[in-house]
Chains A and B, each alone.
Chain A
Amino acid sequence: MSHDASPPSPSNAPPLLSARGVHGGYGSMNILNGVDMTLHADEVGVIVGPNGAGKSTMLKAVFGLLNVNQGEILLSGEPIQNLAPNQLVKRGMGFVPQEKNVFPSLTVKENLEMGAFLKPQNVKRMLEQVYEFFPPLRDKRRQPAGELSGGQRQMVAMGRALMAEPTLLLLDEPTAGLSPLYMNEIFDRVKKINAAGVGILMVEQNAKQALAIADKGFVLAAGQNRFTDTGAALLADPDVARSFLGG
């Protein structure tokens, strides 16, 4: 999506996102007990794991929504742990929460405009791009987002995050509660967005489908890395399948 982003060269350019030994949680209590993560600009990263493993917590820690008590998180080589969310948006990070991810009384178009709040000069161009990614939104642009279906809301939410032209997009369970039809559509869009040059890190409950599109998969358990590999390798690993993918 960012047109001037040079293709990543693994040898000298720092990875888009790099987390080392992250401990953190709500207040002083740690839910994460040392998580490592590396993601390059052209990759889709998927975090999976059992309930309570700290998947969403890790995503929120990256986006500065809760405290990182130990360890460091780097965005393109620069430390970002414990920066406020709006500063992270300025640095090219976009976040789509799992619930309450639209402004219900604002129209679809206004929702998208809010995504570009920090870059008002880009609104027109980015609106066109988002409508191309999510064609249904163009017809619904005058409708309040609260009146849309779950899948359409998810599109509004992702579109809103894309409006700021992020280099890294964080998605918290984008397919939760959606029908299989919509789920595939959302994964399809995620691939397309990634192909346009946006690094993606998402948390997913639908682990098999998500790992199928993942360049990199992170299996968390009890706030720590259990397995880290390419999505295909994790799907093929019998250990992972037995313990985390339901056989």
Chain B
Amino acid sequence: MNNRHPSYTPVDSTVTRRFPVREVVLFAALLVAVLGVYAIMGAAYSTRMLVEAACYAILALGLTIQWGYAGQFNAGVMGFVALGGFCAMLFSVPVNDAFWGTELPGELGRVLLYGLAAIVLVIGVSKLDRFGMPKLLRTVLAVALAVVLYLVVISMLREVTSEIQSRAGFVGGFGLPPWTGWIVGGALAGGVGYFIGHICLGLRSDYLAIATLGIAEIIKAFLKNSDWLTRGTATVSPLPWPTPGPSALGFTLSRAIYLSLTAVIIAVIFFLLHRAYHAPWGRMIRAIRDNEVSAAAMGKDINKRRLEIFVLGCILMGLGGGVLGTFNSLFDPQGYLPLNHTFLVLVMVILGGPGNNLGTLFGAVAVYIIWIMSEPLALFIMQLVASLGEGAGWQMPTNLESRALQARVLVIGMLITIVLRFAPRGLLPENIKSHG
């Protein structure tokens, strides 16, 4: 999609049906790979891998509509995934009576109300110029007030939160079904996406990448350090599943049921995206991506459409993060890594074919299998080398496993640059209809 001929004009015509050889071959190869993993690694392990791959597919679908449909590069997928995971945790974990049974919720609510009042007050002062106050004085006053009120509220918040932490551990959850958390996680991620997109989408595309990278790190820092809310590095587990857990049905069956749940979610998303893509809305989105100027000349509200796409992608990432978090049954803020939750998803999308939902699904599952399998494979090779080396009297370095991890970082980076250079439209390129 990047080196399209300048004279290309998007034309909508009925697709000439062809037999999808490429798709069939690729998915058949994928099926063989999955069966191979089942044969070698056993059913429980392989089903877990498939569930995780399915969760990643949701994230990849979110990224593919941002990058493939609209050319927006989100470098902070991790942040939205972590938000989803956090919401899944907050809503599904049992209620903590050590917190709710005391006066602490009231205290926390009072501080939050103060914060709200402070915001209203500052906004009010910033509007004072309408009543004849000089603009400079108004600005100085508003900034000074904002600084003082911020310090007051943040000090109160610090007091309450450290109190919560020392007396109750953390606020605990709401004890609701996990899907409530997934939905709220998607909504929250969409809200953050709206904030970022609103600021950056009218500017150069690079700025969006920088800002999303930043917000992801901030979300992670917040989740990691807010011990009163998330237990921070102490982690929260287990997170209840919406389906019967392993204790009731055993690993393989329970995971298979969870897998069918995620498959249903993906099918619904896939269907809706397919409809939207071929609806007037999707045509407009592609028209904007392909030729912004002429789309604007036709009276399309470009920034609004772009914002819609970006927010929609972020919602999917939040949702996927929630489903993934619940499945892992563990909320660990430090487990959210840019490598796994941003770059791996990026590789899935650009390898599968940005803008092609089917290609993205393929990319997600294929890349995830390679990613997961590379670990035992690398270890196996290393042990082989080690045993050969020891036979030759050679001393192995000790921390091989951590170095193997770094080798994976290297490989992912190399994969990104190589795919961009040699197959920028992925293995299953977006089907662009054009005459001639």
Contact = CB atoms under 8 A, between A and B. Distances in A.
Interface of A: 26-27, 29
Interface secondary structure of A, over-half rule? loop
Interface in B1-46: 5-7
Contacts of B7: 26-27, 29
Q: In which size bucket is the chain B interface? A: under 10
Q: Give the 6 A-B residue pairs with the shortest CB-CB distance, closest first.
A: A29-B7, A27-B5, A26-B6, A27-B6, A27-B7, A26-B7
A26 B5 CA distance: 10
Contacts of A29: 7
Which secondary structure characterizes the binding site on chain B? loop
Contacts of A26: 6-7
A26 B8 CA distance: 13
B14 to A, nearest CB: 27
A171 B5 CA distance: 29
Contacts of A27: 5-7
A57 to B, nearest CB: 15
6 contacts: A26-B6, A26-B7, A27-B5, A27-B6, A27-B7, A29-B7
A22 to B, nearest CB: 21
Nearest to A29: B7
A29 B6 CA distance: 11
A232 B241 CA distance: 90
A29 B8 CA distance: 12
Contacts of B5: 27
A58 B5 CA distance: 22
A26 B7 CA distance: 10
B6 to A, nearest CB: 7
A29 B5 CA distance: 11
Nearest to A28: B5
A65 to B, nearest CB: 15
A29 B7 CA distance: 9
Contacts of B6: 26-27
A242 to B, nearest CB: 34
Nearest to B5: A27
A26 to B, nearest CB: 7
B78 to A, nearest CB: 39
A239 B7 CA distance: 35
Nearest to B7: A29
A21 B5 CA distance: 26
B111 to A, nearest CB: 51
B110 to A, nearest CB: 55
A27 B6 CA distance: 9
A104 B6 CA distance: 28
A27 B3 CA distance: 13
A189 B6 CA distance: 38
A247 to B, nearest CB: 34
B203 to A, nearest CB: 21
